[in-house]
Structure 1
Amino acid sequence: MRNAPLDIVVVGLSLSSSWGNGHATTFRSLLKGLAALGHRVLFLERDKPWYAANRDLPEPDFCELRLYDSVEELATTYRREIAEADAVIVGSYVPDGVEVIDRLTAIAPGRVSFYDIDTPVTLAKLMRGDEEYLARRQIPDFATYFSFTGGPTLDRLEQEFGAKDAQALFCSVESERYRHTGAEPVWDLGYLGTYSPDRQPTLERLLLEPARQLPDKRFVVAGPQYPADIAWPDNVERIDHLPPAEHAAFYSRQRFTLNVTRADMIAAGWSPSVRLFEAAAVGVPIVSDAWDGLGELLPEGEAIVVARGTEDVVAALCETGEEDRRRLADAAQEIVLSAHTGLARAKELAAALRIHHAPRLSAAGRP
């Protein structure tokens, strides 16, 4: 009975829509992995108009998805499912998150964990007294604080914020969907990501300025919410929202792809993005900004190009031969497909949940 299926309730920002957020792709990969292992998941998502207008996965086949309109509806309509679940996981940036967490912990005491897909941002907000979706007082109540960020941040969560157990649960990739299409490269360097003010200076330094210096090469930026006043060089193509179903084809048409990290995550280190793993799985060489822990995941010069300035990007585009380009891509792909798939991450999550919910599972006859 040790590997009996778990009944898990997840309350997250979004599963149905990847528009303007990286949470949906993270949850999709993780939950598909859980389904492959035989676990049952109910995902509860706040019904918001901006997601309703952009739903690219309204009916997932790997879990049950239900929408709710208010905290009260969540706590009443789904009270039985929450109360009977082996584990309840609430994600970061859930609307009215503080109230949601209070209601969940009242219904399922000792069985609620937090999955922070924005850990450095969350801790920076808490240090400012900003409790938009999590109150500092709630952290010690979680069975486990799962964090998108590893490294020293886990010690900080336990020692400074009182988490009982902080564990890294990095994002992952759906390996069956992220494969090279065989298409020939169209762009020399591309970037996929929603506009963010703190990422834009890096995008300027590592893509727009190289585009200006290399007018004979082609570049692309895909993602929504970019201000109209950005001066895009003529050789930079713009694509608005690109749904996950088109990501693999997008990566496949690039000679190199760019990974850009938010400032809070650079400061914390150990915060690999979904895009990093997606690109590696497809088999496109990656150019990334620098942060602590990156080399432990993808060794610099062996599986990734780390760019600290415009000149590093220009050198990569102009001086990297085809053999070295393929060597970089193959090394990153091997690492990611062996350790950072949705199935691998689901195994980590299920193992952690069994440890921390062992008394309840044993009492239910499911050790």
Structure 2
Amino acid sequence: MKNKLKIAFYGSSLVSAYWNGAATYYRGIIKELSRLGHDITFYEPDAYERQQHRDIPDPEWATVVVYDNNEESAFKVLAEAAKADVVVKASGVGVFDELLEEQVLKLRKENQLIIFWDVDAPATLERMTLNPEDPFRNLVPQYDMILTYGGGQPVIDAYATFGAKRCIPIYNALDPETHFSVPEEEKFKCDLAFLGNRLPDREARVEEFFLKAAAQLPEQTFKIGGSGWGDKQMPTNVEYIGHVYTKDHNAFNCTPKAVLNISRDSMAKMGFSPATRVFEAAGAGACIITDYWLGIDFFFEPGKEILVAGSGDEVAQILSQLSVEEAKAIGEAAQKRVLEHHTYAHRAQEADQLFQAHFQFTNTSAV
């Protein structure tokens, strides 16, 4: 018999994508887990002005608890985990991460499933590798399982070296109710668009794959969205449009001739880590040009469903030869692929099977 589970989820934010790239991943997975009958409470701190930049109201499919950005409030919400069957600590909450990671293990109740859900596994693994004193190294073997946003076998193997009992990638995907084709909007019209916050391990690749390509194609138009790029020097044919709210993502993705995916350094090195925006853009029927990373063909067929570039020069070459008709055909093929194989309903089923198998094994062992 299938268990209907109470899940306590400690993450960065479910209601705001502001400085929070994992928001749509959380929303997609949690909404579909709710549809499978589970009762989810999402605990998020009032930090980084996320609550002032909400882009969805509290959803029907999860209870959202916003706690004050102090240690006392963090302990209060940790105490509520006692009521849960499954306790999830996600990476990158942004405040009190070490406390949360330690305390969900210290406060565990009998028969609870305790999960670390890593939405930036390459960065976590690199951090632990470089710092032998990293406190998370001692906690990894204590979690019942590590779920990751991506990374494939390289991430599984790397977590195993730190003593993880189990590490399973639950890849990001498409929520077809949120990301889909919409009419074009004039403010997003251009030849190539890129959306991503300015982060230290992304900036050099943005310079290479986006700004360098723009400089080589002065007759074409480029737009960049996301937080933090305001003081960045860019070619004159690049327009910075600031933070793009999730309600505008569909138009941002399907209006330009093509959109660019640029992996962060750590994600590109590890491979098998498609950004959430790849699936979102595909869901909107966008023609995607991506930087190369190992495992692309696990998700899309290069040349038919996605275009792959190894450098800024190659981005410029692709763009200079890409017709509107070709771009449209590639976008339609990508959209078909994600709807058939890469939705959050698919991913939630994978997570649910792991949960059910754990409790079935636990119950059987107790007999």
Query: TM-score, normalised on structure 1?
Result: 0.91
Confirm or deny: 8 A CA contact 2:300 2:334 kept in the other structure.
yes
Deviates more, 1:336-345 or 1:235-244: 336-345
Identity, in percent, stands at 31
Q: 1:44 to 1:217 in 2, by over 3 A?
A: same
Confirm or deny: 8 A CA contact 2:205 2:265 kept in the other structure.
no
Confirm or deny: 8 A CA contact 1:75 1:104 kept in the other structure.
no
State the partner residue of 2:21. Answer: 22
State the partner residue of 1:137. Answer: 138
State the partner residue of 2:257. Answer: 255
Q: 1:123 to 1:78 in 2, by over 3 A?
A: closer
Alpha-carbon distance in 1 for matches of 2:224, 2:334: 22
Confirm or deny: 8 A CA contact 1:21 1:194 kept in the other structure.
no
Using the TM superposition, give the Cα deviation of residue 176 of structure 1 relative to its aligned residue in structure 2, in angstroms: 1.1
State the partner residue of 1:281. Answer: 283
State the partner residue of 2:91. Answer: 92
Using the TM superposition, give the Cα deviation of residue 227 of structure 1 relative to its aligned residue in structure 2, in angstroms: 5.2
State the partner residue of 1:54. Answer: 53
Instruction: Establish whether residue 206 from structure 1 lines up as the match of residue 206 from structure 2.
Output: no
Deviates more, 1:30-39 or 1:53-62: 53-62
Letter in 2 for 1:281: G
Letter in 2 for 1:121: A
Give deviations 1:92-131, integer Å, cap 9, x for gaps.
0122222212221122255210110010000111112287
Using the TM superposition, give the Cα deviation of residue 16 of structure 1 relative to its aligned residue in structure 2, in angstroms: 2.3
Give deviations 1:292-331, integer Å, cap 9, x for gaps.
1112211221211111123322222221234432332122
Confirm or deny: 8 A CA contact 1:71 1:100 kept in the other structure.
no
Query: TM-score, normalised on structure 2?
Result: 0.91
Q: Secondary structure at the match of 2:354?
A: helix
Letter in 2 for 1:226: W
Using the TM superposition, give the Cα deviation of residue 198 of structure 1 relative to its aligned residue in structure 2, in angstroms: 2.5
Confirm or deny: 8 A CA contact 2:115 2:145 kept in the other structure.
yes
Deviates more, 1:112-121 or 1:200-209: 200-209
Using the TM superposition, give the Cα deviation of residue 363 of structure 1 relative to its aligned residue in structure 2, in angstroms: 10
State the partner residue of 2:114. Answer: 112
Q: 1:337 to 1:343 in 2, by over 3 A?
A: same
Alpha-carbon distance in 2 for matches of 1:49, 1:227: 18
Letter in 2 for 1:85: A
Confirm or deny: 8 A CA contact 2:257 2:324 kept in the other structure.
no
Confirm or deny: 8 A CA contact 1:26 1:274 kept in the other structure.
yes
Q: Which of 274, 287, 303 is matched with 1:272 structurally?
A: 274
Letter in 1 for 2:216: Q
State the partner residue of 1:154. Answer: 156
Alpha-carbon distance in 1 for matches of 2:255, 2:96: 40
The unaligned stretches of length 5 or more in structure 1 are none
Confirm or deny: 8 A CA contact 1:86 1:361 kept in the other structure.
no
Letter in 1 for 2:59: P
Alpha-carbon distance in 1 for matches of 2:239, 2:309: 22
Using the TM superposition, give the Cα deviation of residue 49 of structure 1 relative to its aligned residue in structure 2, in angstroms: 4.8
State the partner residue of 2:181. Answer: 180
Using the TM superposition, give the Cα deviation of residue 77 of structure 1 relative to its aligned residue in structure 2, in angstroms: 4.8
Confirm or deny: 8 A CA contact 1:98 1:131 kept in the other structure.
no
Give deviations 1:167-189, integer Å, cap 9, x for gaps.
00112222112111132771110
Q: 1:239 to 1:361 in 2, by over 3 A?
A: farther
State the partner residue of 1:321. Answer: 323
Give deviations 1:244-283, integer Å, cap 9, x for gaps.
1110011121110000011111111111111111111111
State the partner residue of 2:309. Answer: 307
Q: 1:180 to 1:203 in 2, by over 3 A?
A: same
Confirm or deny: 8 A CA contact 1:46 1:68 kept in the other structure.
yes
Confirm or deny: 8 A CA contact 1:86 1:360 kept in the other structure.
no
Instruction: Establish whether residue 125 from structure 1 lines up as the match of residue 98 from structure 2.
Output: no
Deviates more, 1:219-228 or 1:196-205: 196-205
Q: Which has the higher relative contact order, 1 or 2, with Cα contacts under 8 A spaced 6 or more apart?
A: 1
Alpha-carbon distance in 2 for matches of 1:93, 1:31: 17
Q: 1:78 to 1:211 in 2, by over 3 A?
A: closer
Letter in 2 for 1:210: A
Give deviations 1:230-253, integer Å, cap 9, x for gaps.
222222111111111110011121
Letter in 1 for 2:137: R
Alpha-carbon distance in 2 for matches of 1:226, 1:362: 54
